[in-house]
């Protein structure tokens, strides 16, 4: 039998046995048997080339190499085949139905009051104010006494305070803060020396009979600036700029006298009605007055400056308090404040 014939037979046998392999382990065993680097049959044949008689060596070598590449090719094809079969099996057991409707990815956004709060803070940050925070559960001392609101002061009733029912020395001394004003004193206490220039945002709580303009929870921003030579004109300039940043460059503002125990003098600032521009007797936003009240403010009472360890002979300051929900109501023309916290997505999605 010629060299060629016996190589053909070997190939036939090898391919037949490869065809029978079904799983990876069988294929691997086949590879070791035929192509294994130490004991593989084809490897042995290649090694035997040297031992062939001179005149047959070339033909033998060629045939052995041919056999080797044929088996390698067959092996690669077999492995491919097996992979394809496995994939085909997967696609029947774990098929993806491309005709199913997609799952919606809900798109979130910031609550309108949060958006408004951030815009307000940004307006003040641009004017050099830093943002600070204080506790929502507050000592009566900071909420009232330190702000010059004594025990028998009507403001304590006016705000229908929500007390925390914990007795300390036989008394209730903690409450949900009714305003962010306690942070005036808190910030000064932890700032050894002026200048102070902060805005303090936060939730406040009052036991309200809620209506279209009152909620029992509200968001305020307290502002405080204390330094040498701070004057009423600084207060007016900062708050005027705030109104223009939030409601348009053409805004006008007016200051009326008002009373808050922690400031002297105290004012309320109103801006010209940007809805009716002063022309609508029936305007729901300004009630025909042409002006919209937007915040309370004033010069920090000298007693508070002194109590904080500063010297009121040298240091003066102004403070203001803004109701953020009110700003949000105005900027979007929303009619009822209660919409904000009812979590109705049909309402919230509009902003
Ligand atoms: N704390 C006052 C309120 O809640 C607002 C205010 C703050 C007024 C600072 C003057 C100065 O009504």
Pairing of strands 174-176, 162-163: antiparallel
Please give the Cα distance from 162 to 202 (Å, whole number). 16
- The set of residues, in sequence order, having a beta carbon less than 8 Å from that of 336 and lying 6+ positions away, is 212
Of 321, 322, 320, 317, nearest to 300 by C-alpha is 317
pLDDT of residue 169: 87
Specify the residue with its C-alpha closest to ligand 1, atom 2. 321
Atom nearest to 323 CA in ligand 1: 4
Ligand 1: nearest atom to the Cα of 184: 9
User: How far does residue 50's CA lie from ligand 1's centre (Å)?
Assistant: 104
Residue 211 DSSP symbol: B
Q: Quick one: pLDDT at residue 157?
A: 66
Tens digit of each residue's pLDDT (9 = 90 or more) over 129-185 = 999 999 999 999 999 999 999 888 876 766 678 889 888 888 888 999 999 999 999
Query: Cα of 171 to ligand 1 centre, how many Å?
Result: 26
Mutate to test the pocket of ligand 1, among 181, 266, 323 (most ligand atoms within 8 A of CB): 181
Give the number of the atom of ligand 1 that is nearest the alpha carbon of residue 180.
1
**Distance (Å, rounded) from C-alpha 229 to C-alpha 250?**
29
What superfamily in CATH does domain 112-348 come from? Bira Bifunctional Protein; Domain 2 (3.30.930.10)
| pLDDT (0 to 100) of residue 152 | 82
CA distance 62 to 75: 20
Distance of CA 86 to the CA centre of its chain: 44
CA 278 to centroid of ligand 1, rounded, Å? 27
> Which H or E element spans position 4?
helix 3-20
Q: How far apart are CA 120 and CA 114, in angstroms?
A: 10
Q: How far is CA 211 from CA 64, 70, 131, 252, in A?
A: 97, 89, 31, 29
- Between the CA of 220 and the centroid of ligand 1 the distance, in Å, is 9
CA–CA distances in Å: residue 57 to residues 50, 53, 62, 104, 290: 7, 6, 9, 72, 112
Q: How far is the CA of 53 from the centre of ligand 1 (A)?
A: 111
| 3-class state of residue 102 by DSSP | coil
Residue 130 region by backbone torsions, left for phi larger than 0, else alpha for psi between -120 and 50, else beta: beta
Structure tokens at 262: 């922690």
Task: Return the best residue to mutate from 129, 219, 221, 262 for the ligand 1 pocket (most ligand atoms within 8 A of CB).
Answer: 262
CA atoms of 23 and 20, how far apart (whole Å): 9
Atom 4 of ligand 1: nearest residue by CA position: 179
Q: Which atom of ligand 1 is nearest to the CA of 204?
A: 4
DSSP count for the chain of H helices, then E strands: 12, 12
Tens of pLDDT along 15-43? 999 999 988 899 999 999 999 998 899 99
Atom of ligand 1 nearest to the CA of 179: 4
| For the CA of 220, the nearest atom of ligand 1 | 4
**Is 226 within 8 Å of 196 (Cβ atoms)?**
yes
Give the pLDDT of residue 316: 98
Q: Which of 174, 222, 224, 175 is nearest to 202 (CA)?
A: 222
Query: How many Å apart are CA 265 and CA 300, to the nearest integer?
Result: 8
Residues annotated catalytic, as ranges: 159, 179, 206, 220, 263, 319
- Distance, CA 2 to ligand 1 centroid (Å)? 110
| Best residue among 187, 260, 293 to mutate for probing ligand 1, ranked by most atoms within 8 Å of CB | 260
Pocket of ligand 1 (CB under 6 A): 179, 181, 260, 263, 266, 296-298, 319-321
User: DSSP per residue over 276-299, as a string?
Assistant: TTT--TT-TTTTTSSEEEEEEEEE
- Please state the domain extents for the chain: 3-93, 112-348
Beta carbons within 8 Å of 310's beta carbon, 6+ residues apart: 188, 193, 194, 226
Distance 202 CA to ligand 1 centre (A): 13
pLDDT at 158: 61
Which of 159, 175, 296, 305 has the most ligand 1 atoms within 8 A of CB, as the residue to mutate? Answer: 296
In the chain, which stretches have pLDDT less than 50? 1
Considering the entire predicted model, what is its pTM? 0.72
């Amino acid at each position: 039998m010629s060299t060629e014939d016996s190589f053909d037979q070997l190939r036939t046998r090898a391919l037949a046995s490869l065809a029978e392999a079904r799983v990876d382990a069988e294929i691997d065993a086949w590879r070791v048997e035929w192509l294994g680097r130490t004991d593989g049959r084809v490897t042995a044949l290649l090694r035997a080339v040297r031992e062939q008689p001179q005149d047959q060596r070339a033909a033998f070598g060629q045939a052995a190499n041919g056999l080797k590449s044929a088996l390698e090719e067959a092996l690669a094809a077999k492995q491919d085949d097996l992979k394809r079969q496995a994939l085909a099996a997967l696609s029947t057991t774990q098929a993806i139905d491309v005709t199913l409707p997609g799952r919606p990815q809900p798109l979130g956004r910031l609550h309108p009051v949060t958006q408004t709060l951030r815009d307000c803070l940004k307006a003040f940050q641009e004017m050099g104010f830093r943002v600070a925070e204080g506790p929502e559960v507050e000592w009566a001392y900071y909420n009232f006494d330190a702000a010059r609101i004594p025990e028998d002061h009507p403001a304590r009733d006016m705000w229908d305070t929500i007390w925390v029912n914990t007795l300390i020395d036989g008394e209730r001394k903690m409450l949900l803060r009714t305003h962010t004003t306690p942070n005036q004193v808190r910030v000064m206490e932890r700032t050894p020396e002026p200048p102070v220039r902060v805005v303090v945002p936060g939730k406040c709580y009052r036991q309200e009979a809620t209506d279209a303009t009152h909620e029992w929870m509200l968001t305020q921003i307290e502002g405080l600036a204390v330094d040498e030579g701070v004057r009423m004109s600084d207060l007016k300039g900062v708050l005027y700029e705030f109104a223009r940043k939030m409601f348009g460059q053409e805004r006008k503002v007016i200051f009326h006298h008002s009373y808050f125990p922690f400031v002297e003098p105290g004012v309320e600032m109103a801006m010209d009605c940007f809805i009716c521009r002063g022309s609508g007797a029936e305007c729901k936003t300004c009630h025909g007055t042409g002006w919209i009240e937007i915040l309370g403010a004033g010069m920090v009472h000298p007693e508070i400056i002194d109590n904080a360890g500063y010297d009121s002979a040298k240091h003066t300051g102004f403070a203001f308090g803004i109701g953020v929900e009110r700003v949000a109501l105005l900027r979007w023309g929303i009619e009822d404040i209660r919409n904000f916290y009812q979590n109705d997505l049909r309402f919230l999605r509009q902003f």
